[in-house]
Amino acid sequence: MVGGILSLLVSWVYLSASWTGPYSQDSIFDGLYWSTFLWMGGTLLLGIFIIPRTIGMMYTPVIFLLPIAFLISLFRHGFAYSFSIVLLGFAGWLITMLIGRFRPEST
pLDDT at 26 (0 to 100): 57
| CA distance linking residue 86 with residue 1, whole number of Å | 27
102: Cβ–Cβ under 8 A, 6 or more apart, which residues?
A: 48
Structural domain count, the chain: 1
pLDDT at 36 (0 to 100): 82
Whether 59 contacts 97, CB under 8 Å = no
Measured on CA atoms in the order 67, 70, 75, 79, is the torsion positive or negative? negative
Percent of the chain whose predicted confidence (pLDDT) is above 90: 57
Mean local confidence (pLDDT), 15-21? 88
| CA distance linking residue 1 with residue 23, whole number of Å | 34
Query: Per-residue pLDDT tens for 50-79?
Result: 999 999 899 999 999 999 999 999 999 889
Has residue 23 got a pLDDT over 90? Answer: no
For residue 77, the enclosing domain spans: 2-18+27-106
